């Protein structure tokens, strides 16, 4: 079947589904400021009435049958992705300067559909950032193209436009390269599925596809073309990542001569003193560029251990010839070579923030994953940067109490924490708040770096990143990505000054049943109650309780008794005048659900003395 026909049929099915969902879920109140749109639009005026939907017409002809579309190239203020939407009881008019803007306007229309029709609104909308990204590691665990298509569908629905495909790493090589067939015949399958068991094995064994128990896979070139075409139809750019000079154990299974000891299973880094390493890099990148039309190629550049380089005669010889004093300079040497090669081919290099050790070309882009500092340094140097700090924007971190969740990586990054990050810290206060999210401890605004206001445009976007050591299948992948992907979408599209957690929380809750109906195995939000306390100048403490779910009540006690369905209902922050044990629990339909909270809240003696001092008469 022709791709366009398939896409049309799929869109028709989406329309039918959304109409159905509007019937079976609670209709949005006309007083709602956003009608549960994610991401929230820049400007929205709500008017009385609805445009009535002819479901038969929608099913037969699709959304284009009910929308008057217009391309107006004079609408420069909207950029290339913005749109104007006007819905009245008699017409739907969608105007944009490009077809991309029309596409995003149509996503908004799809989200606006209710059982009553499409509400009458006027919307002016455009994205905050040009790079609105999702990253997927397919090396640690391989995901077939059909799962990639499913993610791309959701990205388009939420106006995300960049898919960063991490194709190579220690867990396996995942893309066909004609000139080096053993990358996939020997490096795409391993002996164990369980990541920890395989990784901790003294020999992390790779095997051939026909070996009993072989686990892995790779994309053929035709698979990649399908993925790129599928993404392009949804106005999503696919950026490939091929790792250099580290994270390359799988390369040396078939081509051991490219590592320092010339033997498989001895190193994860290329031998920088071996010219063959650079021939390999150029050959592979050439085939990659033939498959991916994106101007951007990600070369990794992170976490080189450098141990083998310190004793390798070839690497040491290169250091002597080039007057290098530190092993880091070997890494910089390979990154510089990649940058020059890509630039000569008309492409732009992206790398993880270790590439800041290089003197980069102005065109190169830094992806800041070790906190926000890499992006701040890059932006102030004049390079563009993408924010994806691991402690805040990684989907593989825990999103609820680890005791209730499947094994995940390292720390804790729930929905609110992710949503609260501001990707453009142009003052010390914003930067320190970000650092507090990142480090989970107080940070003084006197100790942080920030982006100079004149360099704010060098932050081109944000990315939610998904590393898959502990994500072995599609259902688990969706569980970790959703609904946190919606936080990334709003952070990337909606202006900072209109983003607000309480409003976003309501909209995310409204999207959960829709995600489930689209067969997305979304996490249904945490049962954790969050308590925050703020010491006031009168030596009292203001206590705020919060939870991700809107379908539950928070009830609490301050007298030591266990909360019950008749305990005080939390509706607003409350004040404590002395040390108190706060006990709280979630209730739904009179039943206790979720995880209870017990916390002693008080004021330290130092804080009391401080406020007594500052309140003294002058």
176 φ/ψ angles, rounded to the nearest 5 degrees: -65, 130
> What is the C-alpha separation between 146 and 152, in angstroms, rounded?
10
Beta bridge partner(s), residue 575: 542
283, 179 in Cβ contact below 8 A? yes
> What is the C-alpha separation between 367 and 379, in angstroms, rounded?
11
Return the H-helix or E-strand segment holding 538: none
Report the Cα–Cα distance between both ends of the chain, in Å, rounded: 83
What 3-state class would DSSP assign to 603? coil
Q: β-strands 296-300, 348-352: how paired? A: parallel
Three-state SS letters, 287-345: HHHHHCCCCEEEEECCCCCCCHHHCCHHHHHHHHHCCCCCCHHHHHHHHHHHHHHHHHC
> What is the C-alpha separation between 571 and 302, in angstroms, rounded?
47
Q: Which of 392, 446, 447 is nearest to 422 (CA)?
A: 392
Beta bridge partner(s), residue 241: 166, 298
DSSP 528: P
> What is the C-alpha separation between 174 and 34, in angstroms, rounded?
41
Tell me how far the alpha carbon of residue 390 is from its chain's centroid.
10
Peptide bond into 110 cis (omega under 30): no
Q: Which of 165, 214, 221 is nearest to 186 (CA)?
A: 214
Q: 304-331 burial by CB neighbour count: b if 16+ within 10 A, else e?
A: bebebbeebeebbebbeeeebeebebbb
Q: What stretches of 447-579 adopt beta strand conformation (E)?
A: 459-466, 530-535, 541-546, 553-557, 568-569, 574-576
Scan for tokens 């720390």, then name that residue.
411
484 φ/ψ angles, rounded to the nearest 5 degrees: -60, -25
In this structure, what is the dihedral angle of CA atoms 69, 74, 75, 77, given to the nearest 10 degrees? 170
Return the H-helix or E-strand segment holding 83: strand 83-87
DSSP 582: E
> What is the C-alpha separation between 77 and 449, in angstroms, rounded?
32
Catalytic residues: 303
């Amino acid at each position: 079947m022709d791709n366009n026909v398939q896409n049309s049929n799929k869109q028709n099915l989406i329309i039918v589904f959304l109409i159905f969902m509007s019937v079976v879920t609670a209709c949005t109140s006309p007083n709602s400021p956003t009608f549960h749109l994610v991401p929230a639009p820049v400007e929205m005026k709500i008017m009385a009435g609805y445009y009535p939907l002819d479901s038969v017409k929608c099913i037969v002809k699709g959304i284009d049958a009910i929308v008057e579309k217009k391309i107006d190239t004079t609408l420069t203020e909207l950029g290339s992705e913005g749109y104007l939407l006007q819905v009245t009881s008699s017409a739907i008019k969608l105007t944009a300067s490009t077809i991309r803007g029309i596409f995003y306007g149509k996503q908004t229309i799809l989200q606006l559909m209710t059982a009553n029709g499409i509400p009458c609104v006027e919307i002016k909308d455009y994205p905050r950032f040009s790079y609105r990204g999702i990253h997927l590691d397919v090396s640690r665990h391989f995901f077939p193209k059909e799962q990639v298509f499913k993610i791309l569908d959701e990205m388009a629905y939420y106006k995300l436009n960049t898919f960063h495909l991490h194709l190579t790493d220690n867990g396996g090589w995942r893309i066909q390269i004609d000139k080096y067939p053993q990358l996939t015949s020997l490096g795409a399958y391993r002996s164990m599925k369980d990541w920890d068991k395989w990784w901790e094995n003294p020999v992390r064994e790779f095997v051939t596809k026909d070996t009993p128990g072989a686990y892995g896979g790779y994309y053929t070139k035709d698979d990649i073309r399908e993925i790129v075409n599928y993404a392009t139809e949804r106005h999503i750019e696919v950026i490939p990542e091929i790792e250099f000079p580290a994270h390359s154990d799988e390369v040396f299974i078939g081509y051991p001569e490219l590592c320092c000891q010339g033997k498989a299973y001895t190193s994860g880094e290329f031998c920088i003193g071996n010219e063959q390493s650079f021939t390999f890099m150029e050959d592979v990148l050439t085939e990659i560029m033939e498959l991916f039309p994106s101007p951007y190629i990600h070369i990794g550049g992170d976490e080189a251990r450098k141990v083998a380089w310190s004793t390798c005669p070839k690497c040491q010889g290169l250091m002597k010839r080039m007057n290098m004093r530190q092993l880091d300079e070997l890494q910089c040497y390979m990154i510089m070579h990649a940058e020059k090669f890509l630039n000569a081919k008309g492409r732009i290099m992206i790398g993880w923030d270790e590439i800041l050790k290089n003197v980069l070309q102005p065109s190169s882009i830094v992806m800041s994953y070790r906190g926000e500092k890499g992006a701040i340094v890059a932006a102030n140097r004049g390079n563009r940067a993408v924010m994806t700090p691991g402690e805040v924007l990684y989907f593989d971190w825990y999103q609820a109490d680890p005791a209730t969740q499947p094994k995940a990586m390292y720390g804790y990054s729930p929905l609110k924490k992710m949503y609260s990050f501001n990707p453009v810290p142009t003052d010390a206060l914003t930067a320190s708040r970000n650092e507090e999210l990142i480090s989970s401890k107080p940070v003084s605004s006197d100790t942080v770096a920030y982006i100079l206001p004149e360099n704010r445009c060098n932050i081109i976007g944000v990315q939610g990143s998904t590393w898959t050591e502990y994500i072995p299948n599609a259902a688990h992948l969706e569980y970790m990505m959703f609904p946190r992907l919606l936080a990334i979408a709003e952070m990337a599209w909606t202006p900072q000054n209109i983003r607000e957690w309480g409003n976003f929380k309501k909209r995310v809750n409204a999207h959960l049943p829709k995600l489930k109906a689209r067969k997305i195995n979304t996490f249904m939000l945490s049962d954790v109650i969050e308590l925050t306390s703020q010491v006031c100048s009168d030596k009292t403490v203001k206590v705020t309780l919060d939870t991700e779910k809107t379908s539950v009540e928070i009830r609490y006690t301050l007298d030591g008794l266990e909360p019950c369905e008749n305990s005080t209902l939390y509706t607003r922050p409350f004040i404590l005048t002395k040390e108190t044990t706060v006990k709280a629990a979630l209730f739904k339909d009179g039943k206790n659900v979720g995880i209870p909270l017990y916390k002693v809240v008080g004021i330290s003696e130092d804080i009391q003395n401080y406020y007594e001092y500052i309140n003294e008469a002058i």
